[in-house]
Structure 1
Amino acid sequence: MEREEVQAVIFDWAGTTVDYGCFAPVHAFVETFRRRGIEITAEEAREPMGLAKIDHIQSILGMRRIKDVWNAAFGNEPNEKDAQALYRDFEATIFKVLKYHAKPIPGVVELVSQLRKQGIKIGSTTGYTREMIAVVAEEAEKWAYKPDSIVTSVEVPSGRPAPWMCLQTAINLQVYPLSKMVKVGDTVSDIEEGISAGMWTVGVLKGGSEIGLSEQEITNADPYQLQAKMRRAENRFLMAGADFVIDEIGDLLEIIDRINHRLIERKDSFIG
């Protein structure tokens, strides 16, 4: 008889399982625009985080301030041709830094080991292309992190917030119903992706893009300011519909227990 428990967890990559603070894409986006003479802030670079990278660039170009700056610099608002040119530059830039931002976030390797002991499969989705994530995955494996499945946004009809990467992961892992799968990520688009797929959703704060701080910055931060920042990020996740929000990735084990309890209750209620 099939267990009424979580069967699989789908993790995001940068900011969730590797690259504490999600800095590789931020640096690449900022540098890509700077080469065109357009200065964007780290906050602007982070705002669309989680999307497919071409969608991310188009989202930045759609920001009112960026449109105005671009228009002042080039005499017209950015168009699709500009977006494609920026994306090519972004690819060249990020490939230079990916391998240096692939170390697993503290607690990830231990968490995955514990999940596997419970018979839970490990999937992953990403806004990186297959070529990009191949670099990250190769480095992460050296640190003992290797998910059972990797699905990228360019291998499905569309990336986040659409459900396709999660659905393809379910196929790859041969897990159903989707109510027995959990999507974990550090961005609002991760949560939206999981909701679209009908899965449980969990937002992660420390190490993620919504907080956007390095380990050292979190250690050195004023505790009251850090808590305020974390609660604002938590509210964004909850407003997006997240089922749970955790301070750090290692807290997921407790959430899995809570979901399992709810799944069993749901079944008992249905039978009753």
Structure 2
Amino acid sequence: MTELAVFDMAGTTIDDRDEVYRVLREATEREGARYSDEVFQQWMGTEKHWAIENLLRLGGVEVTEEVHERAWQWFRTELARTYTENPPTPLPGIEDALTTLRERGIRVGLTTGFSREIAELIYSTMGWKQGETFDASSTGDEVPSGRPAPDMINTVMDTLGVTDRSAVVSVGDTSADVQSALRAEVTAVGVLTGHLTRADFEAEGAHLVLDSVADLPAVLAERTPAAVSE
């Protein structure tokens, strides 16, 4: 039986109009970085401070501490501004799905490549509260390594005292989400609310691909953990 469902935020549970990716790309390009859409997509869902460093380097910029810090601070300021002026909203059916899972005794965790300050801004603007909407959260700046490392999933599990990895599903819309789940040895679920196709997720090794997080409660109700992970 599933004990814990862990969810990514942007593109998985919330609609931020892709602002995080606009701001991430602009933060590096304004420093002179140039790279393809395919290269950029590989860094979607990862911890943003790390992503900026790597995108700068891949974009041909000599990454000094000054350059990296300047790009990072611009990213933080611009993202906070755009999220304050035009806050993200829950994707359709997400809040009902999270409520249904918690009512069934399945705890809900949120993970994100955002920093804690941005995550808390999003929670407050949407009225999401720990203990009511979700049970625990972990952000990319609070763990040794962000996605695709499994650290955030492990942190949520530790926080909630969940030890049975076969009883955990982790849901996301990016390659990094799937790889993080696989490294955590939990069931990896891809959702088609981001930029990847079903074929993309299958190539990444996702155990299950859904149209939306809104479909998850029904799927978990119909399947045993063993069936989900086949």
**Per the shorter chain, which TM-score range?**
0.7 to 0.9
User: In structure 2, what is the equivalent of residue 109 of structure 1?
Assistant: 95
| TM superposition score normalised by structure 2 | 0.87
> How many angstroms does 1:150 deviate by?
1.1
- The amino acid that maps onto 2:54 is S
Q: How does 1:161-172 map to 2 (within 5 A)?
A: 161-172=148-159
- Which of 192, 213, 225 matches 1:249? 213
Whether contact under 8 Å (2:28, 2:52) holds in the other structure is: no
Moved more, 34-43 or 237-246: 34-43
1:181 maps to 2:168: yes
In the TM superposition, what whole-angstrom CA distance separates every residue of 1:119-161 from its partner, at most 9, and x where no partner exists?
1000011101111111011112269983111111111111111
Corresponding position of 1:200: 187
Offset of 1:80 from its aligned partner? 4.7
Would the aligned equivalents of 1:12 and 1:124 in 2 still touch at CA under 8 Å? yes
Q: Is 1:125–2:111 an aligned residue pair?
A: yes
Residue 255 of structure 1 deviates from its aligned partner by 2.9
2:80 is aligned with 1:95: yes
Question: Hey, which of these two has a bigger chunk of helix by percent?
Answer: 1
Highest CA radius of gyration, 1 or 2? 1
- Describe the superposition over 1:29-68 as per-residue Cα deviations: whole angstroms up to 9, x where unpaired: 23324544556676654431111101111232243xx21x
- Partners of 2:146 and 2:184 lie apart in 1 by 12
Structure with more strand by fraction = 2
Name the count of aligned residue pairs: 227
Give CA deviations for 1:161-212 in whole Å, capped at 9, x if unaligned.
1111111101112222111010000111011111111110100112x2x25x
1:56-93 CA distance string (max 9 Å, x none)? 11232243xx21xx5xxxxxx44454223211111111
23-32 vs 147-156, which moves further: 23-32
**Residue of structure 1 equivalent to 2:224:** 260
1:53 equivalent in structure 2:
48
Q: What residue is the counterpart of 1:221 in the other structure?
A: none
What root-mean-square deviation, in Å, do the aligned CA atoms of Structure 1 and Structure 2 show?
2.6
Mapped contact 2:191–2:212 kept (Cα < 8 A): yes
Contact 1:123–1:169 under 8 Å retained in 2: yes
Once the two structures are overlaid, the 10-residue window that deviates more, 9-18 or 242-251, is 242-251
Counterpart residue number, 2:147:
160
CA contact (8 A) 1:58 1:83 kept: yes
Q: Work out whether residues 12 and 173 of structure 2, in 8 Å CA contact, stay in contact via their aligned partners in 1.
A: yes
Structure 2 gap segments, 5+ residues each: none
Find the residue that maps to 1:158 and give its secondary structure: coil
Q: In the alignment, which residue of structure 2 is the partner of 1:235?
A: 199
Comparing 98-107 and 31-40, the one that deviates more: 31-40
Query: Counterparts of 1:39 and 1:237 in 2: how far apart (Å)?
Result: 27
